[in-house]
Structures are given as C-alpha cells and as structure tokens.
C-alpha cells in the first residue's frame, strides 16, 4: 500500500474515551491554565488552538553537526502541514542530535543520553502524540527508545537516504567506498586529489548514507516494526515523496492520538520477530542487533541474541545492496522498497501477518499487494542474492555471552578457520601496528582487538573492522578474520566478529587472549573457541589487572558505571523498562 493511501479520517472512528493528555495543561480555566496557554500565545497561537484538539510534538534531530539530518527543518514543515490538515496543534521541539561522522569518541556513547532527553521531553510537555524525525544512525534508536519508555502515541519518520554517489561515472556508496578507497590510497593505487574529488561525489544530496548501512537498516526497522508508514525506509531524502510521507505521518498522528494508539500496542514480540527477519532479508547492519535489544528492553519484550540467530536462519538476503552487493537505497526504492521484501517474507510464512502498524492496519494488509519492479535489486526468494544470510550469533569460551558476525558481508572461505591470534591491547596500538612492516602476521592470522566495548572505549565504537596490515594489502590480501568487542559501521564489510560479550574491560575472556594463541571461528557451528586450557586461562585471569576507567566524573563516568553489555543492548541498567506519560504535578 503506497504511502499516499495511508488511512486517515476513517480511523478517527476508533477514538479513545480517555481525555486528551494536553487538556491537563491547556484545558484549565484557572491560574495554571492562564500560565500554560499565555506564554505560547507569544507565537501568535489563537485561543481556539487550545480547544481540546490533539497537541502533536514534532521531535526534531535537526543539526548542522548531523549533516545527514540537516534537511529536517523542511521535513518538519511537511509534518506540520499534515498535523494542521487533520485538525491537530503542531509544536516542534529539538532534542539531542547524534552525528555519526562528527562526534567523538563515538556517537554510540550518547545514544542512551539522547534517549533520556527524548523520553523526558515527551513526558514533561503537554503533548498527545509525537512524530519522531530520525536519520543518522543513532538518532533512530535513541528516539525509539525514548518514545517507547514515554509510551505516548508516536510515529517514526526517517529522513531518507541520499541519492546515489557518482564518481567519474561510477556509482559509489556511503562508507563502503570510503573504506575501499582509503585502502587504495594506502596501497598507492589512487592519488590524494582523486580521494578529495570522491568525497564530494559521494555526498551529493541531503540524506543519510545510501548504502544498507546502519541508518537505512534502522529506517527499515522502523517500517518493519510497524512504527513508520509503508515506504518509510527507502524514499530518497531528495524525492518529493519523502515530504509526502512526512505530511501523511502528520495527518496520521492526530488520529493515533485520538485513538490512544501507543508504541506499547505496536512494539510486541511479533513486531520484533518481523524486524529480525526483515533485518536478515535486507542484509542489514549488525548495529541493529544492539539497538533492537535495547528498544525491546524498554517495552518489556524478552528478546535475546538467540532470537536473531533462530529467526534469521531460514531467511535469505534478498536485496543486492552495498555493502554486501551492488545497488544503493535509491535503486531499492525504485524496485519496490521494503514493502516488496516484507511481502516475500509474508508469502513464505516468515512474517507475523497480524502485527499492528501505525496506520491502524496489520503489516500484511500494508504489503500484501506490494509490487517488485526489479528482480535484480530485490531478488526472488527462490533465487536469493545470498542464501541463509541472517546475522549469526557465535558462542564459545571466547564469547560466553555471545558475539555476532554478518555472513553476507564475510568471505566464504574464512567462515571455518583456525588461525594464530595477533592481539592489540588498544585501538591506538592496532593503528600503529598495521603500518609496521615488522608486524609478525600473515593472511591466515586472526586480528584481535581489546577494550573497544561499551565500557572500554567507552561507547563501543565502530572500530571492529580493523584496517588490514599495509604489507598484506600490498600482497593483495583483502580480507582477514578480525575479532573484537567493538561494533562496526553498517557500511563496512569483511569477516569481522563483533560485540564479543563480556567485553575485555569488563573482564571477559577476550581480555586474556595473547598473541600466538590459536582461535577457531566456525560460523556453521556458531562457535568461537580459544584453544587455551582452563588452567592457563585461570592463571592469566589471576594475573589480569583491569584497566583504569576512562573518566572519573561526568556523563562518561555515569556511562561506564551503568552501561549493560552488548548482548543486552548496551542500554543503561536504570533505563530498561518504561514509565509511561503521566505527570501529576503542576510546575508552579
């Protein structure tokens, strides 16, 4: 069902009998009513705006420091038109924005902080519903986590991917080609001028990364979870239909507010199962594992790493998109986008068809007729782009609480491999060593990086796809097994084992690995084994000294003290769950 067919007014029939929440502010005819209304009137709002119509927050992550969300003022305007169309009262407000490319040490360090900002802003204000404007990687989970904990009617609107990158007539993809071109530069295959020219060619329009990286994966998760309108994931930012989607979302949230249709009604276990299968079918980013676990934790859905392995196992990767394949999000949209993928899953019994979505219809009602216009981009289930390509969950004495690998981005010949560990105690040591001609390493070695997990970096940075040693690059080596407690960019690729839990800094077995140890990666057996005896590991543990925390005070200290491990979504222990939206007390 295309976005322009989104139901609107007829859903108003399902009105809740609950009084609108905003009336506890604006419906008062006393001192506090004067107070709450009066100051808003300095924007020119007439008295009739406070007559009991739904007040809709437009939660905006616009920021010039988040270039992928820099067009969000325009999107917010289209949401505003939609809210007004439907008789609502729109009020835009800013929340923390998380720019993946600009924030150091990693935007992930601030995901939980932003989620708190969102949750508290929604709860504290006189809102009946909220439209969540999300784009760059971490803005999506942060807003979904916060909105889930506040549990006020909410609809997600993603900013959309950029147009294809085009460099000297060749299609290039966000992130994916940064990695390949930086390796070409290091190998002396291209010049610095070529490199600079490609930078501008890659990012030639508004929007988020246009590969199936984390931003596009999470926009797909918004749609698969039922929290966004059909087609939310793939309409390019520069396509007028992105503004149409924003306008329809503005209309729809007014009806959702009247019907009191909340995130907890939509974010059921069935919805998460749909999202996990969609994640496998799109060959999505490993980062979605951490984010979906955290979102599920907010709404009380018991989701585990094993669910990703079990549910993703029967699912083929259907889309031939970078970083695993050839095409980009723009092509995905023209081919039919996520609705076409969900339809295929539904026809194979791989979709919980009854799961409710924000437009008031089931997910199956939304996608049952979805066309596929290009079977090169969205392949048939019988002839998939990559078979059995769901994210695999590894366990073993090196990762007792699990680790993840994305087989669709890995080298088939490395999926069962035993090699000698070459260990780096820090990311700085690794960066120095990979350019050291004397480094004792060959293509069969396994690179192991420690102290890049949630507590260790801190923030679990995207450094798990370590650059390959320069001397091996010159020999033509293009992939090696890499193991760490870090994450990797959704635009990256390679045989990279990530999210090892517990992390090294928390005393996980990863902390005890030494250069020269043998490690076996066996993806078909879902195993990650360190060939060191229990006695030797016990001796190493007895001698192990935990590293000093990175911060003594401030937010980073709070983060280190309260962040959960990757297998629990790296949320804060005190943020798991939801409080809902009641605020009984006046402010004066």
Q: Which residues bind ligand FES (CB under 6 A)?
A: 68, 100-101, 136-137, 174, 208-209, 213, 215
* CB closer to ligand FES out of 287 and 495: 287
* CB closer to ligand FES out of 100 and 320: 100
Backbone torsions φ then ψ of 283, nearest 5 degrees: 60, 45
* CB closer to ligand FES out of 165 and 508: 165
Name the minimum Å distance from CB 279 to ligand FES.
17
Cα separation, 253 vs 67, in Å, equals 27
* CB closer to ligand FES out of 209 and 423: 209
Cα separation, 385 vs 387, in Å, equals 7
Name the minimum Å distance from CB 244 to ligand FES.
22
Instruction: Print burial letters for 245-276: b (CB count within 10 Å at least 16), e (below 16).
Output: bbbbbbbbbbbbbbbbbbbebbbbbbbbbbbb
* CB closer to ligand FES out of 61 and 359: 61
Backbone torsions φ then ψ of 140, nearest 5 degrees: -70, -55
Name the minimum Å distance from CB 557 to ligand FES.
27
For residue 218, give both structure tokens. 């999470």
DSSP-assigned beta bridge partners for residue 76 = none
Cα separation, 284 vs 281, in Å, equals 8
Name the minimum Å distance from CB 489 to ligand FES.
8
* CB closer to ligand FES out of 174 and 379: 174
Name the minimum Å distance from CB 212 to ligand FES.
11
* CB closer to ligand FES out of 213 and 228: 213
Question: How many other CB atoms sit within 10 Å of the CB of residue 425?
Answer: 14
- Residue 233 near residue 220, CB atoms below 8 Å: yes
- Residue 351 near residue 314, CB atoms below 8 Å: no
Name the minimum Å distance from CB 19 to ligand FES.
40
Half-sphere exposure of residue 364, counting CA atoms within 13 Å on the CB side?
12
Cα separation, 119 vs 143, in Å, equals 8
- The full DSSP string for 259-299 is HT--HHHH--HHHHHHHHHHHHHTT--THHHHHHHHHHHHH
For residue 17, give both structure tokens. 């009998």
* CB closer to ligand FES out of 465 and 565: 465
Cross-sheet strand order for the sheet of 392-396: 399-405, 392-396, 527-530, 518-522, 416-424, 446-449, 481-484, 496-497
- CA-wise closest residue to 70 among 116, 131, 133, 130: 133
Name the minimum Å distance from CB 105 to ligand FES.
16
Element (H, E) at 90: strand 89-94
Name the minimum Å distance from CB 265 to ligand FES.
29
* CB closer to ligand FES out of 139 and 408: 139
- Residue 513 near residue 416, CB atoms below 8 Å: no
Name the minimum Å distance from CB 520 to ligand FES.
34
* CB closer to ligand FES out of 209 and 267: 209
Cα separation, 165 vs 173, in Å, equals 6
Name the minimum Å distance from CB 174 to ligand FES.
6
CA dist 576 to 107, 112, 296, 586, Å? 20, 11, 9, 27
Name the minimum Å distance from CB 500 to ligand FES.
24
* CB closer to ligand FES out of 75 and 441: 75
């Amino acid at each position: 069902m295309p976005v322009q067919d989104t139901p609107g007014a007829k859903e108003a029939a399902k009105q809740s009998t609950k009084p609108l929440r905003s009336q506890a502010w604006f419906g008062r005819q006393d001192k506090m009513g004067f107070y709450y209304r009066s100051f808003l009137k300095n924007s020119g709002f007439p008295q009739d705006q406070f007559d009991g119509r739904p007040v809709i927050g437009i939660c905006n992550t616009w920021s010039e420091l988040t270039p992928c969300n820099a067009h969000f003022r325009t999107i917010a305007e289209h949401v505003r038109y939609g809210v007004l169309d439907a008789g609502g009262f729109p009020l835009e407000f800013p929340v923390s924005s998380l720019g993946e490319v600009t924030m150091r040490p990693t935007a992930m360090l601030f995901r939980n902080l932003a989620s708190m900002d969102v949750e508290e802003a929604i709860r504290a204000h006189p809102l009946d519903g909220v439209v969540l404007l999300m784009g760059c990687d971490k803005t999506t989970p942060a807003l979904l986590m916060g909105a889930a904990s506040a549990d006020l009617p909410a609809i997600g609107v993603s900013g959309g991917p950029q147009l294809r990158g085009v460099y000297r007539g060749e299609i290039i993809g966000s992130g994916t080609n940064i990695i390949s071109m930086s390796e070409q530069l290091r190998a002396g295959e291209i010049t610095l001028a070529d490199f600079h020219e490609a930078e501008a060619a890659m990012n030639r329009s508004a929007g988020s990364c246009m590969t199936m990286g984390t931003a596009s994966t999470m926009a797909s998760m918004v749609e698969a979870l039922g929290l966004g309108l059909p087609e939310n994931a793939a309409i390019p930012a520069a396509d007028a239909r992105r503004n149409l989607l924003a306008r329809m979302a503005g209309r729809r949230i007014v009806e959702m507010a009247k019907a009191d249709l909340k995130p907890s009604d939509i974010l059921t276990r069935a919805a998460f199962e749909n999202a996990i299968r969609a994640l496998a079918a799109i060959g999505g980013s490993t980062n979605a594992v951490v984010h979906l676990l955290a979102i599920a934790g907010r709404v009380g859905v018991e989701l585990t790493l094993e669910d990703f392995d079990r549910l993703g196992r029967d699912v083929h990767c259907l889309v031939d998109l970078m970083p695993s394949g050839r095409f980009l999000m723009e092509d995905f949209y023209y081919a039919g986008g996520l609705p076409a993928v969900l339809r295929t899953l539904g026809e194979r019994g791989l979709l919980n068809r009854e799961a409710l979505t924000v437009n008031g219809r089931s997910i199956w009602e939304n996608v049952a007729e979805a066309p596929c216009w290009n079977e090169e981009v969205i392949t048939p289930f019988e002839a998939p782009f990559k078979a059995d390509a769901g994210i695999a969950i590894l366990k073993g004495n090196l990762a007792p609480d699990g680790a993840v690998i994305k087989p669709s981005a890995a080298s088939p010949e490395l999926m069962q491999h035993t090699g000698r560990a070459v260990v780096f105690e820090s990311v700085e040591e690794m960066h120095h060593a990979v350019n050291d001609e004397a480094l004792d390493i060959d293509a069969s070695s396994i690179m192991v990086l420690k102290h890049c997990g949630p507590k260790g970096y801190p923030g679990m940075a995207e450094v798990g796809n370590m650059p390959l040693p320069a001397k091996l690059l010159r020999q033509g080596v293009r992939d090696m097994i890499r193991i760490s407690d870090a994450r990797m960019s959704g635009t990256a690729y390679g045989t990279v084992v990530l999210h090892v839990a517990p992390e090294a800094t928390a005393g996980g077995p990863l902390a005890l690995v030494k250069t020269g140890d043998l490690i076996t990666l066996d993806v078909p057996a879902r195993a990650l084994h360190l060939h060191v005896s229990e006695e030797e590991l016990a001796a190493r543990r007895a001698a192990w000294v935990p590293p000093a925390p990175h911060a003594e005070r401030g937010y980073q200290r709070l983060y280190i003290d309260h962040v959960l491990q990757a297998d629990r979504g790296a949320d804060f222990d005190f943020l798991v769950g939801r409080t809902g939206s009641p605020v009984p007390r006046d402010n004066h």
